Amino acid sequence: MKSVKLESPAKINLMLSVHGQRDDGFHALTSVVAPLVFGDTLIVSLNEAGVDRLNCSDSAVPTGLANLIVKAAVAFREELGENIYFDFVLNKRIPMGAGLGGGSSNAAVALCAMNQLRGDCMTKEQLRAIAAELGSDCPFFIDSIPSKMSGRGEVLEALPIELSKALRGQRIVLFKPDFAINTAVAYIRLIESRPSVYESLELAANRLTLFKDTKKLEGLLHNTFEGNLGHKYLAIPCLLTELRLAGFACLMSGSGSCCFALAEDAGEVSRIRDICEEAWGSSIFFIETSIL
């Protein structure tokens, strides 16, 4: 095997409850995360150049050591203990600074692809451990199945099978304004607003229990960042309020700036698009997809 081509899915946070800052500087959180059919595509090949090389369809994406894919290659090589190098070709569709986990997904999928090229020499547990060192969201994308996320994001628990089945195929509409939100800045704003912005573990657990009992997403949707960041990025809460008044369940994903809405059919997708374009303009990022 000389090359591997894998899909690198985006994710949405169906719930993201931030509880407070930990002693190590990270934030404790409880989240329900689901992968999407929509995403990037990554081709990984062995090379003899003695250096990792990344080519990306989006010129705005850094291709050096600042990129998590290249960092993943370095970490994989160190864990393997071999001087092995890779070529990466990334077809980028997930927007940056969107809260859709694009960079984390790319890194985790790169780890899986490199492992395949080396004959599956590492277990998934080993890959998740490497991924956790790269970023809090990265371990989720080793398996990319609907999961409860806790700790700083590295503790994963797959949702019960019946809940995953209830989620699979749910029509999702993604829409993003023409600006990105830096994740580090988003967390700084939480710290500046503490403690009132943080939510208790009990509230998050109650929301998750209700979802398990009813299998209805509407009661699960919550994002600590949405209200906090809304004071600075007014375009987001204004549009989400309008969509909710129109009867659509919607939420900002992650630390933003991308948002999503639940839709039942093509007619609802069209109505959501009309509301979004009227608020943010016709050139916005707008994608119809579904939960994987």
Asked if residue 178 and residue 80 are part of one domain, the reply reads no
Query: Own/partner pairs for 68-74, CB < 8 Å, 24+ apart?
Result: 68/103, 68/104, 68/106, 68/107, 68/110, 68/134, 68/135, 68/138, 69/42, 69/106, 69/107, 69/110, 71/107, 71/134, 72/107, 72/108, 72/110, 72/111, 72/114, 72/130, 72/131, 72/134, 73/110, 73/114
Asked if residue 167 and residue 263 are part of one domain, the reply reads yes
Q: How many CB atoms lie within 10 A of CB 154?
A: 19
Q: Which domain holds residue 241?
A: 161-290
Asked if residue 204 and residue 129 are part of one domain, the reply reads no
How far is Cα 103 from Cα 66, in angstroms, rounded to an integer?
11
User: In this prediction, what percent of the chain has a pLDDT beyond 90?
Assistant: 87
Asked if residue 229 and residue 267 are part of one domain, the reply reads yes
Dihedral over Cα of 137, 139, 145, 146: its sign: negative
The CATH number covering residue 113 comes to 3.30.230.10
Asked if residue 253 and residue 281 are part of one domain, the reply reads yes
Task: Evaluate if residue 184 carries a pLDDT over 90.
Answer: no
The pLDDT of residue 103 = 96
Asked if residue 177 and residue 135 are part of one domain, the reply reads no
Residue 227's pLDDT band (boundaries 50, 70, 90)?
confident
For residue 48, what are its two tokens?
């003899």
Bond from prior residue into 59 cis (ω within 30 degrees of 0): no
Using CA atoms, how far residue 75 sits from 108, 110, 148, 180, in Å, is 11, 11, 26, 28
Asked if residue 143 and residue 176 are part of one domain, the reply reads no
Q: Which amino acid is at 219?
A: G
Asked if residue 10 and residue 30 are part of one domain, the reply reads yes
The pLDDT of residue 183 = 87
Residues whose CB falls within 8 Å of the CB of residue 71, separated by 6 or more in sequence, listed in order: 65, 107, 134
* Domain-ending residue, one of 158, 192, 213: 158
What would the pLDDT profile of 139-160 be if each residue is shown by its tens digit? 999 999 999 999 988 899 999 9
pTM: 0.94
The CATH number covering residue 277 comes to 3.30.70.890
Asked if residue 227 and residue 267 are part of one domain, the reply reads yes
Asked if residue 150 and residue 7 are part of one domain, the reply reads yes
Asked if residue 147 and residue 115 are part of one domain, the reply reads yes
Q: Would you call 67 helix, strand, or coil by DSSP?
A: coil
The pLDDT of residue 25 = 85
Active site residues: 11, 137
What would the pLDDT profile of 5-59 be if each residue is shown by its tens digit? 999 999 999 999 999 999 988 899 999 999 999 999 999 999 999 999 999 999 9
Residue 268's pLDDT band (boundaries 50, 70, 90)?
very high
Task: Evaluate if residue 287 carries a pLDDT over 80.
Answer: yes
Structural domain total, the chain: 2
